[in-house]
Each structure stands twice: as C-alpha cells, then as structure tokens.
Amino acid sequence: MIRKTLICSFLMGLCCALAVQVCIAETKNEYWPNGNLKAVQEYREDGSLEKETEYDQNGEKVVEAYYSSNGSLRTGMDGWAAMRWKYKDGSIMAGGYYGSNGRLTEYKEYNSQGDLVNKEYFGSDDLNPAEEYNSVPTIEGETISYYDKDGVSEGSAYVRTGTLLFPEEWVR
C-alpha cells in the first residue's frame, strides 16, 4: 500500500511539474547594479510573453502584468491584468489596477503608516458603487459612502483635484 501511494505521489508531482513547464518555457531575469532583482519576464513555449514583473532598486515590486499570446493584456486570477505600485521610504504610497483593456480601473492611496486613505474607481465592467447608485461627489473633498441593505459598507467614492500617480492607460 505504501509503495502504491509513493508511486501515485511521484506521478502526480511529475504531472504537475510538466504542466508548469508547458505554461512557462523560459524565465529571464534582469538585475540592478546593486544586485537586486530588476525584472522577471516569463515566456511561453511559443516565445510569447506570459508575465512581466518589475522591481525598484530597493527590491519593491512596482509592476506586474499578464499577457495573452498575442501580446495584449489579459485578466489574471485576481481579476486584474496589470498593477503598478509606488513607494516612499519603503512604504507603499499607491497602487493602480488595470483591466485587460489597458485602462485604469481602481486606484488606491496610502498614508505613511500604510493605511488606505483613498480608493477611486474608474469606468469598467465591474461593479462600481458610484455607478450603481448614480451618485457621484460634486465638490473636492466630498466623500459618498455606499452601503448594502443590511448596512454593510460597499465602498465609497471621493473627489479630489490633483494628479494620479499612474497613467490612466497601461504603458509597458
């Protein structure tokens, strides 16, 4: 019985390893002069780019993007196609989520303690409380919060002037 279990475990592991190998045929790494990882590019067997990840000189992840075999962005398992992050003194400042259409769908800003202080939604096919309720803040600094029928928060929309820390269109 033990022998049969070991053989099955071995075969399962081999199948999983082969499945991963089929998906990712080659990985290329680039490094900063200080030795930290700068970029990781994962390619399919046909040579097309599958996933790209970039890091700043401090080793913080600043870009992650998934691509279809034709080179366009594709939505990953987490519901976004690409993300960007910005850091200040080792702490996250902002994060931007992009859809497969290359448009910014969600933007988050954090204070120096890492607390989320602003979250904005942009037009997409996903549920957006501001679009669902047809209520949008009209003046800078106004926040509108949205709740479900049981009083549970579904999010909020906030208006501010200034610029986003990321472009609204994905740029590779």
Looking only at the bridges linking them, the beta strands covering 37-43 and 26-31 are: antiparallel
Give the per-residue pLDDT at 149: 76
pLDDT of residue 171: 73
- Residue whose C-alpha is closest to residue 98's, from 70, 137, 72, 132: 72
- Per residue of the chain (172 residues), what is the pLDDT tens digit? 444 433 444 444 444 444 444 457 899 999 999 999 999 999 999 999 999 999 999 999 999 999 999 999 999 988 899 999 999 888 998 999 999 999 988 888 888 878 777 777 776 444 444 444 444 444 455 666 666 778 777 666 655 545 567 667 777 7
Give CA–CA dist 16/1, Å, rounded. 23
Q: What tokens appear for 59 in the block?
A: 């080793």
d(CA 164, CA 149) in angstroms, rounded, equals 32
Say what the pLDDT of residue 30 is: 96
pLDDT at site 125? 46
Helical (H) or strand (E) element with 54: strand 49-55
Side-chain half-sphere exposure of 89, counting CA atoms within 13 A: 5
Could you tell me the two tokens for 142? 């106004």
Q: Do 68 and 74 form a contact (C-beta atoms < 8 A)? A: yes
What pLDDT, on the 0 to 100 scale, is given for residue 40? 97
* The pLDDT value given to residue 8: 44
pLDDT at 146: 65
Q: What is the predicted pLDDT for the residue at 142? A: 60
Per-residue model confidence (pLDDT) at position 6: 39
Closest residue by Cα to residue 164 from 135, 129, 122: 122
